Amino acid sequence: MDYINSLWKAIDEQDLYPNSRTIKDVPYPELLIGGKKFLCLCSNNYFGLSIHPEVKKAAMEGIERYGIGTSDSRLIAGNLELLEDLEKSIADFKREPAAVVFITGFMANVGSIPGIMDSFDVYDFPSVKNENNLIITDMLSHRSVFTGCRLSKSPTKTYLHKDMNHLEKILKRNREKRKLIITDGVFSMDGDFAPLPEILELSQIYNAMVMVDDAHAIGIIGENGRGTAEHFGVEGKIDIQMGTLSKAVGALGGYLTSSPELIKVLKGRASSFVYSSSLPPEQACGIMAALEIIQATPELRNSLWKNVSHLKKGLEDMGFDTMNSETQIIPILIGNEQKCIKASRLLFEKEILVPAIVWPVVQRGKARIRVLAMATHTESQIDRALEAFHEVGKEVGVL
Ligand SMILES: Cc1ncc(COP(=O)(O)O)c(C=O)c1O
Protein backbone atom coordinates (compact mmCIF):
# COMPACT_ATOMS: atom_id res chain seq x y z
CA MET A 1 0.00 0.00 0.00
CA ASP A 2 2.89 2.35 0.82
CA TYR A 3 4.26 1.76 -2.66
CA ILE A 4 0.95 2.77 -4.23
CA ASN A 5 0.56 5.87 -2.07
CA SER A 6 4.08 7.05 -2.78
CA LEU A 7 3.60 6.36 -6.50
CA TRP A 8 0.47 8.49 -6.64
CA LYS A 9 2.12 11.20 -4.49
CA ALA A 10 5.10 11.38 -6.88
CA ILE A 11 2.82 11.80 -9.89
CA ASP A 12 0.50 14.22 -8.11
CA GLU A 13 3.43 16.41 -6.99
CA GLN A 14 4.48 16.93 -10.63
CA ASP A 15 1.15 18.70 -11.15
CA LEU A 16 0.95 17.27 -14.67
CA TYR A 17 -1.70 14.63 -14.18
CA PRO A 18 -4.14 14.68 -17.12
CA ASN A 19 -7.59 15.43 -15.71
CA SER A 20 -10.37 14.40 -18.04
CA ARG A 21 -13.77 16.07 -18.19
CA THR A 22 -16.93 14.05 -17.73
CA ILE A 23 -19.07 14.29 -20.86
CA LYS A 24 -22.79 13.77 -20.55
CA ASP A 25 -23.79 13.86 -24.20
CA VAL A 26 -22.20 14.21 -27.63
CA PRO A 27 -24.10 16.64 -29.90
CA TYR A 28 -20.93 17.14 -32.03
CA PRO A 29 -19.33 19.57 -32.72
CA GLU A 30 -20.48 20.50 -29.22
CA LEU A 31 -20.37 18.40 -26.06
CA LEU A 32 -22.63 18.50 -23.04
CA ILE A 33 -20.56 18.90 -19.87
CA GLY A 34 -22.05 19.73 -16.47
CA GLY A 35 -25.32 20.92 -18.02
CA LYS A 36 -23.60 23.31 -20.45
CA LYS A 37 -22.84 23.05 -24.15
CA PHE A 38 -19.10 23.22 -24.86
CA LEU A 39 -17.54 23.84 -28.23
CA CYS A 40 -15.41 20.77 -28.92
CA LEU A 41 -12.11 21.63 -30.60
CA CYS A 42 -10.19 18.48 -29.77
CA SER A 43 -12.07 15.60 -31.34
CA ASN A 44 -10.58 13.10 -33.78
CA ASN A 45 -14.14 12.55 -35.01
CA TYR A 46 -13.20 14.89 -37.87
CA PHE A 47 -16.36 14.36 -39.94
CA GLY A 48 -18.77 13.69 -37.07
CA LEU A 49 -19.45 10.25 -38.56
CA SER A 50 -19.91 8.59 -35.15
CA ILE A 51 -23.36 10.20 -35.01
CA HIS A 52 -24.21 10.14 -38.72
CA PRO A 53 -27.75 8.68 -39.14
CA GLU A 54 -26.69 6.14 -41.79
CA VAL A 55 -23.74 4.96 -39.72
CA LYS A 56 -25.92 4.58 -36.61
CA LYS A 57 -28.56 2.72 -38.64
CA ALA A 58 -25.99 0.29 -40.05
CA ALA A 59 -24.58 -0.35 -36.57
CA MET A 60 -28.06 -0.96 -35.13
CA GLU A 61 -28.84 -3.42 -37.91
CA GLY A 62 -25.56 -5.14 -37.04
CA ILE A 63 -26.67 -5.50 -33.42
CA GLU A 64 -30.03 -6.88 -34.55
CA ARG A 65 -28.36 -9.53 -36.65
CA TYR A 66 -25.25 -10.49 -34.68
CA GLY A 67 -25.63 -9.13 -31.12
CA ILE A 68 -23.00 -6.89 -29.54
CA GLY A 69 -19.90 -9.06 -29.69
CA THR A 70 -18.39 -12.33 -30.90
CA SER A 71 -17.02 -13.38 -27.49
CA ASP A 72 -14.09 -14.92 -29.28
CA SER A 73 -10.81 -14.43 -31.05
CA ARG A 74 -10.91 -14.63 -34.85
CA LEU A 75 -9.00 -17.90 -34.55
CA ILE A 76 -11.64 -19.54 -32.37
CA ALA A 77 -15.32 -18.74 -33.10
CA GLY A 78 -15.04 -15.02 -33.85
CA ASN A 79 -14.22 -15.05 -37.54
CA LEU A 80 -17.46 -13.60 -38.90
CA GLU A 81 -17.72 -13.30 -42.67
CA LEU A 82 -18.68 -9.71 -41.91
CA LEU A 83 -15.17 -9.02 -40.54
CA GLU A 84 -13.60 -10.46 -43.68
CA ASP A 85 -15.94 -8.25 -45.75
CA LEU A 86 -14.77 -5.26 -43.71
CA GLU A 87 -11.14 -6.17 -44.40
CA LYS A 88 -11.92 -6.35 -48.12
CA SER A 89 -13.63 -2.92 -47.98
CA ILE A 90 -10.59 -1.40 -46.26
CA ALA A 91 -8.16 -2.98 -48.72
CA ASP A 92 -10.28 -1.78 -51.67
CA PHE A 93 -10.53 1.75 -50.28
CA LYS A 94 -6.78 1.87 -49.70
CA ARG A 95 -6.11 0.20 -53.10
CA GLU A 96 -3.96 -2.35 -51.30
CA PRO A 97 -3.97 -6.13 -51.84
CA ALA A 98 -5.16 -7.17 -48.37
CA ALA A 99 -6.05 -5.93 -44.88
CA VAL A 100 -6.51 -7.18 -41.33
CA VAL A 101 -8.56 -5.47 -38.61
CA PHE A 102 -7.74 -5.20 -34.92
CA ILE A 103 -9.81 -4.09 -31.97
CA THR A 104 -8.01 -0.69 -31.88
CA GLY A 105 -5.23 1.11 -33.69
CA PHE A 106 -3.09 0.83 -30.57
CA MET A 107 -3.55 -2.94 -30.62
CA ALA A 108 -2.73 -3.04 -34.33
CA ASN A 109 0.71 -1.53 -33.69
CA VAL A 110 1.38 -3.37 -30.45
CA GLY A 111 0.61 -6.77 -31.96
CA SER A 112 1.85 -6.37 -35.49
CA ILE A 113 5.33 -4.92 -34.94
CA PRO A 114 6.52 -7.94 -32.89
CA GLY A 115 4.28 -10.18 -35.03
CA ILE A 116 6.25 -9.21 -38.13
CA MET A 117 9.75 -8.83 -36.75
CA ASP A 118 9.75 -11.83 -34.42
CA SER A 119 8.43 -14.28 -36.99
CA PHE A 120 11.56 -14.41 -39.13
CA ASP A 121 13.62 -16.49 -36.72
CA VAL A 122 12.46 -19.23 -34.39
CA TYR A 123 13.88 -18.71 -30.93
CA ASP A 124 14.54 -21.14 -28.11
CA PHE A 125 15.30 -18.29 -25.70
CA PRO A 126 12.41 -15.86 -25.98
CA SER A 127 14.01 -13.19 -23.78
CA VAL A 128 17.12 -12.85 -25.96
CA LYS A 129 17.16 -9.91 -28.38
CA ASN A 130 17.30 -10.85 -32.06
CA GLU A 131 20.42 -9.09 -33.30
CA ASN A 132 19.70 -10.12 -36.91
CA ASN A 133 16.94 -7.51 -36.95
CA LEU A 134 16.60 -3.79 -36.40
CA ILE A 135 13.54 -1.55 -36.10
CA ILE A 136 14.20 2.12 -36.84
CA THR A 137 11.60 4.74 -35.99
CA ASP A 138 11.14 8.52 -35.86
CA MET A 139 11.53 9.93 -32.34
CA LEU A 140 8.00 11.40 -32.58
CA SER A 141 6.23 8.22 -33.67
CA HIS A 142 3.08 7.39 -31.73
CA ARG A 143 3.33 5.71 -28.32
CA SER A 144 1.69 2.57 -29.71
CA VAL A 145 4.58 2.25 -32.19
CA PHE A 146 7.12 2.51 -29.38
CA THR A 147 5.14 0.02 -27.28
CA GLY A 148 5.12 -2.43 -30.21
CA CYS A 149 8.87 -1.92 -30.67
CA ARG A 150 9.50 -2.52 -27.00
CA LEU A 151 7.55 -5.77 -27.05
CA SER A 152 9.51 -7.06 -30.02
CA LYS A 153 12.65 -9.11 -29.62
CA SER A 154 14.23 -6.91 -32.28
CA PRO A 155 16.32 -3.99 -31.03
CA THR A 156 15.00 -0.50 -31.86
CA LYS A 157 16.90 2.63 -32.83
CA THR A 158 15.31 6.08 -33.02
CA TYR A 159 16.20 8.85 -35.48
CA LEU A 160 15.77 12.57 -34.88
CA HIS A 161 12.42 13.86 -36.07
CA LYS A 162 12.30 13.65 -39.88
CA ASP A 163 16.13 13.79 -40.02
CA MET A 164 16.98 11.78 -43.13
CA ASN A 165 20.75 12.10 -42.59
CA HIS A 166 20.34 10.51 -39.18
CA LEU A 167 18.14 7.75 -40.62
CA GLU A 168 20.69 7.08 -43.35
CA LYS A 169 23.55 6.87 -40.81
CA ILE A 170 21.65 4.18 -38.89
CA LEU A 171 20.79 2.29 -42.08
CA LYS A 172 24.42 2.47 -43.26
CA ARG A 173 25.76 1.07 -40.00
CA ASN A 174 23.30 -1.84 -40.13
CA ARG A 175 23.45 -2.88 -43.78
CA GLU A 176 23.53 -6.59 -43.04
CA LYS A 177 20.49 -6.59 -40.73
CA ARG A 178 16.83 -7.21 -41.56
CA LYS A 179 15.37 -3.73 -41.12
CA LEU A 180 11.93 -2.17 -40.63
CA ILE A 181 11.54 1.61 -40.75
CA ILE A 182 8.37 2.83 -38.99
CA THR A 183 7.00 6.36 -39.10
CA ASP A 184 3.73 8.16 -38.53
CA GLY A 185 2.40 9.52 -41.84
CA VAL A 186 0.98 12.58 -40.07
CA PHE A 187 2.54 13.21 -36.66
CA SER A 188 -0.25 13.23 -34.13
CA MET A 189 0.99 15.97 -31.81
CA ASP A 190 2.77 18.20 -34.34
CA GLY A 191 0.61 17.91 -37.44
CA ASP A 192 3.51 17.64 -39.89
CA PHE A 193 4.07 15.01 -42.59
CA ALA A 194 6.75 12.36 -42.59
CA PRO A 195 9.04 12.77 -45.63
CA LEU A 196 7.71 9.58 -47.22
CA PRO A 197 9.39 9.83 -50.66
CA GLU A 198 12.80 10.27 -49.01
CA ILE A 199 12.17 7.43 -46.56
CA LEU A 200 11.17 5.16 -49.45
CA GLU A 201 14.28 6.12 -51.39
CA LEU A 202 16.52 5.23 -48.44
CA SER A 203 14.61 2.00 -47.88
CA GLN A 204 15.41 0.99 -51.47
CA ILE A 205 19.10 1.79 -51.15
CA TYR A 206 19.51 0.00 -47.80
CA ASN A 207 16.98 -2.79 -48.33
CA ALA A 208 14.60 -1.98 -45.48
CA MET A 209 10.85 -2.56 -45.12
CA VAL A 210 8.68 0.50 -44.48
CA MET A 211 5.62 0.75 -42.24
CA VAL A 212 3.52 3.93 -42.05
CA ASP A 213 1.07 4.70 -39.23
CA ASP A 214 -1.65 6.67 -41.03
CA ALA A 215 -4.00 7.02 -38.05
CA HIS A 216 -4.58 10.75 -38.67
CA ALA A 217 -4.53 10.50 -42.46
CA ILE A 218 -7.13 7.90 -43.40
CA GLY A 219 -10.21 9.63 -44.82
CA ILE A 220 -8.59 13.06 -44.66
CA ILE A 221 -5.24 13.26 -46.42
CA GLY A 222 -4.92 12.89 -50.19
CA GLU A 223 -7.44 13.98 -52.78
CA ASN A 224 -9.62 10.94 -52.06
CA GLY A 225 -8.70 10.52 -48.41
CA ARG A 226 -6.59 7.44 -49.00
CA GLY A 227 -3.83 8.84 -46.80
CA THR A 228 -0.25 10.07 -46.91
CA ALA A 229 0.72 7.63 -49.68
CA GLU A 230 -1.90 9.25 -51.91
CA HIS A 231 -0.77 12.73 -50.84
CA PHE A 232 2.83 12.00 -51.86
CA GLY A 233 1.93 9.97 -54.97
CA VAL A 234 3.64 6.84 -53.60
CA GLU A 235 0.67 4.46 -53.46
CA GLY A 236 1.65 0.82 -53.90
CA LYS A 237 5.19 1.47 -52.67
CA ILE A 238 4.76 1.18 -48.89
CA ASP A 239 5.17 -2.35 -47.50
CA ILE A 240 2.80 -1.95 -44.56
CA GLN A 241 0.22 0.75 -43.82
CA MET A 242 -1.51 0.96 -40.48
CA GLY A 243 -4.54 3.08 -39.67
CA THR A 244 -7.29 3.57 -37.16
CA LEU A 245 -11.06 3.43 -37.57
CA SER A 246 -11.55 5.59 -34.49
CA LYS A 247 -10.75 9.03 -35.91
CA ALA A 248 -12.15 10.22 -39.26
CA VAL A 249 -14.14 6.97 -39.59
CA GLY A 250 -15.81 7.74 -36.24
CA ALA A 251 -15.89 4.17 -34.88
CA LEU A 252 -13.44 1.81 -33.16
CA GLY A 253 -10.73 -0.42 -34.53
CA GLY A 254 -7.40 -0.48 -36.28
CA TYR A 255 -6.14 -2.08 -39.48
CA LEU A 256 -3.06 -2.96 -41.42
CA THR A 257 -2.83 -3.24 -45.19
CA SER A 258 -0.08 -5.14 -46.98
CA SER A 259 0.53 -8.13 -49.24
CA PRO A 260 -1.76 -11.16 -48.75
CA GLU A 261 1.26 -13.08 -47.41
CA LEU A 262 2.10 -10.54 -44.72
CA ILE A 263 -1.56 -10.27 -43.72
CA LYS A 264 -1.58 -14.06 -43.31
CA VAL A 265 1.51 -13.82 -41.08
CA LEU A 266 -0.26 -11.24 -38.92
CA LYS A 267 -3.45 -13.28 -38.62
CA GLY A 268 -1.38 -16.13 -37.23
CA ARG A 269 1.30 -14.26 -35.29
CA ALA A 270 0.16 -10.80 -34.13
CA SER A 271 -0.58 -11.39 -30.43
CA SER A 272 -3.35 -8.77 -30.24
CA PHE A 273 -5.14 -10.55 -33.11
CA VAL A 274 -4.57 -14.12 -31.96
CA TYR A 275 -5.07 -13.73 -28.21
CA SER A 276 -7.85 -11.13 -28.08
CA SER A 277 -11.51 -11.09 -29.04
CA SER A 278 -12.55 -9.74 -32.42
CA LEU A 279 -13.88 -6.33 -33.33
CA PRO A 280 -17.60 -6.19 -32.39
CA PRO A 281 -19.90 -6.81 -35.39
CA GLU A 282 -21.87 -3.58 -35.04
CA GLN A 283 -18.61 -1.65 -35.32
CA ALA A 284 -17.83 -3.48 -38.56
CA CYS A 285 -21.28 -2.56 -39.94
CA GLY A 286 -20.93 1.09 -38.86
CA ILE A 287 -17.39 1.29 -40.27
CA MET A 288 -18.47 -0.03 -43.68
CA ALA A 289 -21.24 2.59 -43.84
CA ALA A 290 -18.79 5.32 -42.76
CA LEU A 291 -16.23 4.26 -45.39
CA GLU A 292 -18.90 4.48 -48.08
CA ILE A 293 -19.87 7.97 -46.92
CA ILE A 294 -16.21 9.06 -46.90
CA GLN A 295 -15.76 7.84 -50.47
CA ALA A 296 -19.04 9.27 -51.78
CA THR A 297 -18.87 12.66 -50.02
CA PRO A 298 -15.76 14.69 -50.87
CA GLU A 299 -17.69 17.69 -49.45
CA LEU A 300 -16.80 16.38 -45.98
CA ARG A 301 -13.10 16.86 -46.68
CA ASN A 302 -13.76 20.25 -48.30
CA SER A 303 -15.66 21.49 -45.23
CA LEU A 304 -12.97 20.19 -42.89
CA TRP A 305 -10.17 21.90 -44.82
CA LYS A 306 -12.17 25.15 -45.02
CA ASN A 307 -12.54 25.15 -41.23
CA VAL A 308 -8.91 24.16 -40.68
CA SER A 309 -7.68 27.02 -42.93
CA HIS A 310 -9.92 29.57 -41.23
CA LEU A 311 -8.80 28.46 -37.77
CA LYS A 312 -5.12 28.22 -38.62
CA LYS A 313 -4.98 31.56 -40.41
CA GLY A 314 -6.82 33.23 -37.54
CA LEU A 315 -4.41 31.80 -34.97
CA GLU A 316 -1.30 32.62 -37.00
CA ASP A 317 -2.49 36.17 -37.75
CA MET A 318 -2.82 36.74 -34.01
CA GLY A 319 0.78 35.65 -33.54
CA PHE A 320 0.39 32.12 -32.15
CA ASP A 321 3.14 29.64 -32.99
CA THR A 322 1.41 26.72 -34.71
CA MET A 323 4.75 24.91 -34.98
CA ASN A 324 5.28 23.33 -38.41
CA SER A 325 1.78 21.98 -38.84
CA GLU A 326 0.94 21.06 -42.43
CA THR A 327 -2.31 19.23 -41.80
CA GLN A 328 -5.60 19.35 -39.90
CA ILE A 329 -3.74 18.99 -36.57
CA ILE A 330 -3.00 22.50 -35.29
CA PRO A 331 -0.74 22.66 -32.23
CA ILE A 332 -0.49 26.03 -30.45
CA LEU A 333 2.90 26.07 -28.76
CA ILE A 334 2.69 27.36 -25.20
CA GLY A 335 5.99 25.88 -23.94
CA ASN A 336 5.67 25.94 -20.17
CA GLU A 337 3.51 23.13 -18.79
CA GLN A 338 1.73 25.10 -16.06
CA LYS A 339 0.96 27.96 -18.47
CA CYS A 340 -0.51 25.45 -20.90
CA ILE A 341 -2.69 23.84 -18.23
CA LYS A 342 -3.85 27.34 -17.25
CA ALA A 343 -4.69 28.19 -20.88
CA SER A 344 -6.77 25.03 -21.19
CA ARG A 345 -8.60 25.86 -17.94
CA LEU A 346 -9.32 29.44 -19.07
CA LEU A 347 -10.67 28.16 -22.37
CA PHE A 348 -12.84 25.71 -20.44
CA GLU A 349 -14.24 28.66 -18.48
CA LYS A 350 -15.22 30.09 -21.87
CA GLU A 351 -16.97 26.79 -22.71
CA ILE A 352 -14.37 25.56 -25.15
CA LEU A 353 -12.91 22.09 -24.69
CA VAL A 354 -9.23 21.73 -25.67
CA PRO A 355 -7.01 19.84 -23.24
CA ALA A 356 -3.43 20.80 -22.47
CA ILE A 357 -0.93 18.43 -24.06
CA VAL A 358 2.07 18.22 -21.72
CA TRP A 359 4.93 15.85 -20.81
CA PRO A 360 5.04 12.83 -21.04
CA VAL A 361 2.89 13.04 -24.19
CA VAL A 362 5.24 15.66 -25.66
CA GLN A 363 8.75 16.77 -24.69
CA ARG A 364 9.22 18.93 -21.59
CA GLY A 365 9.04 22.65 -22.42
CA LYS A 366 6.98 21.94 -25.54
CA ALA A 367 3.53 21.94 -23.94
CA ARG A 368 0.80 22.84 -26.36
CA ILE A 369 -2.90 23.22 -26.93
CA ARG A 370 -3.77 20.96 -29.86
CA VAL A 371 -6.71 22.32 -31.82
CA LEU A 372 -8.75 20.07 -34.09
CA ALA A 373 -11.53 21.42 -36.27
CA MET A 374 -14.41 19.28 -37.47
CA ALA A 375 -16.15 19.42 -40.85
CA THR A 376 -19.36 20.23 -38.99
CA HIS A 377 -18.17 23.38 -37.15
CA THR A 378 -19.87 26.55 -38.35
CA GLU A 379 -17.94 29.68 -39.26
CA SER A 380 -19.38 31.52 -36.26
CA GLN A 381 -18.26 28.72 -33.92
CA ILE A 382 -14.71 29.04 -35.26
CA ASP A 383 -14.86 32.83 -34.88
CA ARG A 384 -16.02 32.45 -31.26
CA ALA A 385 -13.10 30.07 -30.64
CA LEU A 386 -10.60 32.50 -32.21
CA GLU A 387 -11.83 35.31 -29.97
CA ALA A 388 -11.43 33.09 -26.91
CA PHE A 389 -7.93 31.97 -27.97
CA HIS A 390 -6.92 35.62 -28.37
CA GLU A 391 -8.09 36.57 -24.86
CA VAL A 392 -6.49 33.49 -23.29
CA GLY A 393 -3.25 33.91 -25.25
CA LYS A 394 -2.92 37.43 -23.81
CA GLU A 395 -3.82 36.26 -20.31
CA VAL A 396 -1.16 33.52 -20.20
CA GLY A 397 1.42 35.78 -21.88
CA VAL A 398 2.05 34.02 -25.19
CA LEU A 399 0.60 36.88 -27.26
C1 LIG B 1 -0.56 8.04 -34.77
C2 LIG B 1 -1.48 7.16 -34.00
N3 LIG B 1 -1.34 5.84 -34.05
C4 LIG B 1 -2.16 5.02 -33.36
C5 LIG B 1 -3.18 5.50 -32.59
C6 LIG B 1 -4.06 4.56 -31.83
O7 LIG B 1 -5.32 4.45 -32.43
P8 LIG B 1 -6.60 3.97 -31.63
O9 LIG B 1 -7.19 5.16 -30.97
O10 LIG B 1 -7.48 3.36 -32.67
O11 LIG B 1 -6.14 2.96 -30.63
C12 LIG B 1 -3.37 6.88 -32.51
C13 LIG B 1 -4.45 7.43 -31.66
O14 LIG B 1 -4.27 8.33 -30.90
C15 LIG B 1 -2.51 7.73 -33.23
O16 LIG B 1 -2.65 9.07 -33.18
Determine contact, residues 100/311, Cβ cutoff 8 Å.
no
Mean pLDDT of 36-41: 98
Beta strand pairing status for 30-33 and 36-40?
Answer: antiparallel
- pTM greater than the 0.85 cutoff: yes
**Probe residue for ligand 1, chosen from 188, 240, 328, 362 as the CB with the greatest number of ligand atoms within 8 Å:** 188
- Are the CB atoms for 323 and 368 separated by under 8 Å? yes
pLDDT band at 88 (very low <50, low <70, confident <90, very high): very high
* Rounded distance between C-alpha atoms, residue 111 and residue 41, angstroms: 31
* Protein residues whose CB sits closer than 6 Å to any atom of ligand 1: 104-106, 142, 144, 184, 188, 213, 215-216, 244, 246, 254
Is the pLDDT at 126 greater than 70, yes or no? no
Residue 7 confidence (pLDDT) = 86
pLDDT bin (cut points 50, 70, 90) of residue 124 is: low
Provide the residue range defining the domain that includes 367. 22-49+298-395
Domain CATH for 147: 3.40.640.10
pLDDT at 123 over 70: no
What does the pLDDT average to over 206-220?
98
State yes or no: pLDDT of 22 exceeds 90: yes
Question: What CATH number does residue 367 fall under?
Answer: 3.90.1150.10
| Res 369 pLDDT > 90 | yes
Is the residue at 10 inside a domain? no
Assess if residue 334 is contained within a domain: yes
Amino acid identity at 62: G
CA of 399 to the centre of ligand 1 (A): 32
Q: Is residue 1 part of a domain?
A: no
Is the pLDDT assigned to residue 389 strictly greater than 90? yes
- Note whether 268 and 340 are same-domain residues: no
Count of alpha carbons within 13 angstroms of residue 208, beta-carbon side:
29
Question: What's the domain count of the chain?
Answer: 2
Q: Are residues 101 and 181 in the same domain?
A: yes
Average pLDDT over residues 61-85: 97
Pairing of strands 36-40, 98-102: unpaired
Whether residues 220 and 240 fall in one domain? yes
Residue 19 and residue 343: Cα distance in Å, rounded? Answer: 14
> Averaged over 9-33, what is the pLDDT?
90
Average pLDDT value for residue range 332-358: 96
- In this structure, are 238 and 113 located in the same domain? yes
Residue whose CB lies within 8 A of the most ligand 1 atoms, among 112, 246, 256, 357, for a mutation test = 246
Count the alpha carbons within 13 Å of 235 in the hemisphere toward its beta carbon: 17
Report how far Cα 221 is from the mean position of its chain's Cα atoms.
Answer: 13
> Are 287 and 326 found together in one domain?
no
What's the whole-number mean pLDDT along residues 157-170?
98
Between the CA of 396 and the centroid of ligand 1 the distance, in Å, is 30
- Domain check: are 376 and 309 in the same one? yes
Does residue 394 register a pLDDT over 90? yes
Q: Which spans in the chain are helix H?
A: 2-14, 53-66, 81-94, 105-117, 143-151, 164-173, 196-206, 228-232, 260-269, 271-274, 281-296, 298-318, 337-349, 379-395
* pLDDT, tens digit, 9 for 90 and up, residues 244-263: 999 999 999 999 999 999 99
* One domain, residues 73 and 28: no
- Can you give the pLDDT at residue 215? 98
Q: Which residues are catalytic?
A: 188, 216, 247
Contact criterion met (CB below 8 Å) for 147 and 110: yes
State whether 343 and 362 are in the same domain.
Answer: yes
End-of-domain residue from the set 278, 296, 314: 296
The stretch 8-21 carries a mean pLDDT of 84
pLDDT band at 3 (very low <50, low <70, confident <90, very high): confident
Is position 147 within any domain?
yes
- pLDDT at residue 364 in the model: 94
Query: Is residue 77, in this structure, part of any structural domain at all?
Result: yes
- Phi-psi map region of 142: left, alpha, beta (phi>0 left; psi -120 to 50 alpha): beta
Of 296, 312, 342, the domain-final residue: 296
Task: Tell me, yes or no, whether 227 and 374 share the same domain.
Answer: no
- Are 59 and 44 in a shared domain? no
The answer to whether residues 315 and 389 belong to one domain is: yes
Mean pLDDT of the chain: 96
Same domain? For 160 and 95 the reply is yes
* Residue 235 within a domain: yes
Distance 213 CA to ligand 1 centre (A): 8
Query: 184 C-alpha vs ligand 1 centroid, how far in Å?
Result: 10
Q: In this prediction, what percent of the chain has a pLDDT beyond 70?
A: 98
Q: Is 92 domain-assigned?
A: yes
Give the domain-ending residue among 238, 271, 296. Answer: 296
Indicate if the pLDDT at residue 1 is higher than 70.
no
Considering only CA atoms, which residue is closest to atom 10 of ligand 1?
105
8 in any annotated domain: no
